[in-house]
Amino acid sequence: MLTDKKSREINGQILKTALLTVIARPGLLAGGEGSRLRSLTTDGAGASVPKQFCSLFGATTLLEDALNRGRAVADGGRVCAIVADHHHRWWCKALRGLRSTNVIVQPSSRGTAIGILLPLLKILARDPLARIVVLPSDHFVRDEAGLARSLRLAASLTETPESNLVLLGIGPDHPDSEFGYIVPGRPDRHVTFRVQRFVEKPDWATATGLLDAGALWNSFIFAVRGAALLELYRRRHSTIVDAMAKAFTSGKAALGELYERLPNLDFSRDVLEGAEDTLRVLAVHTYALRNRINVSED
């Protein structure tokens, strides 16, 4: 995956990057209880299926869509998938096109911060200079080409001294209390804005005020220099970083034992908050995606 150190030409740009596809926010598709919803989120035996393994239109699943998203901006050999061991029956077929070393399996789910730290350490062990793009697998995207352009731009901006981590913020078209928000600060000399603060799932009135103030939905998509992201983790969780680095080199059993002791950590709250001065947000106003899938009844 990352042992090939050659630069890749992507859409006219030379971009040396690792693509990390994160299976984030496990759960079921949000929406009503009608028959249409049940048909999307259950298998033939009637068992519930996590939303990233569901298909909205009877073709590819949300996970497969995310993998294709990664391949649109980087060589397929540099696309990784982060999965949970207890989801094996769903991801084993979907990921058969990836190299086995690019399928990174968590023993259990311990929140989005832990879910990113494990692959981050594995990627940096293969390529210390890697740039990483994180792509959750619970998005429905209407404008894939537009998103790919934004991803390339965000990745290229991580080479600037002031933009070690660039978040994609989605211009909202309505207030929603189920989304996280990024409140942008002043613009920098590129096309990004400084990050003033994060607001997680506000009530409707607060969400309305955030829209009026120009806040963006937090898509959880971002580009970052791997070494810079590791430094963010070390600021607040150096003990966990060291324990994780030791465990994954010691084998599956050691990693499983560590996961049993790890806390659940949220990436935005437990890693990014407090480091806003090092973050930038790239506003995407094409309404290209939604980071929560809603399915209404027929």
* pLDDT tens figures, 95-115: 888 888 899 999 998 999 999
The C-alpha atoms of residue 7 and residue 234 are separated, in whole angstroms, by: 28
What's the mean pLDDT in 282-286? 80
Residue type, 245: A
Cα–Cα distance, 197 to 70 (Å, whole number):
28
Per-residue model confidence as pLDDT tens digits over 147-195: 888 988 998 888 776 668 999 999 888 888 888 999 999 998 778 999 9
Cα separation, 95 vs 81, in Å, equals 8
**Domains observed in the chain:** 8-295 (3.90.550.10)
Give the pLDDT score at 7.
33
Q: With pLDDT > 90 as the criterion, what percentage of the chain qualifies?
A: 39
- Its pTM stands at 0.82
- Rounded to an integer, what distance in angstroms lies between the CA atom of residue 255 and that of residue 172? 39
20 pLDDT tier (thresholds 50, 70, 90) = low
DSSP string, the chain: -------EEETTEEE--EEEEE--S-S--EE--SHHHHHHHB-TTS-B--GGG--SSSSS-HHHHHHHHHHTTS-GGGEEEEEEGGGHHHHHHHTTTS-GGGEEEESS--HHHHHHHHHHHHHHHH-TT-EEEEEES--EES-HHHHHHHHHHHHHHTTSTT-SEEEEEE--SS--TTSEEEEEEEE-SSS-EEEEEEEES--HHHHHHHHHTT-EEEEEEEEEEHHHHHHHHHHHHHHHHHHHHHHHHH-HHHHHHHHHHPPP--HIIIIITT-GGGEEEEEE-S--EESS-EE---
pLDDT of residue 142: 79
CA pair distance 60, 83, nearest whole angstrom: 17
Alpha carbons 284 and 222: distance in angstroms, whole number: 12
pLDDT band, residue 27 (cuts 50/70/90):
very low
pLDDT of residue 284: 87
pLDDT over 50 (residue 259): yes
Distances 240 to 114, 173, 219, 263 between C-alpha atoms, Å: 9, 39, 26, 10
Q: What percent of the chain has pLDDT over 70?
A: 78
Q: How far is CA 16 from the centre of its chain?
A: 19
Count Cβ neighbours within 10 Å for each residue of 67-83 and write b for 16 or more, e otherwise. Answer: bebbbbbbbbebbbbbb
| Position 73 confidence tier, pLDDT thresholds 50, 70, 90 | confident
Residues 106, 7: Cα–Cα separation, whole Å: 29
Could you tell me the pLDDT band of residue 40, with boundaries at 50, 70 and 90?
A: low
| pLDDT at res. 14 | 36
What number is the average pLDDT over the span 242-256? 93
Phi and psi dihedrals of 263, rounded to 5?
Answer: -80, 165
Q: What is the pLDDT of residue 227?
A: 93
Burial class (CB in 10 A: 0-12, 13-18, 19+), 6: exposed
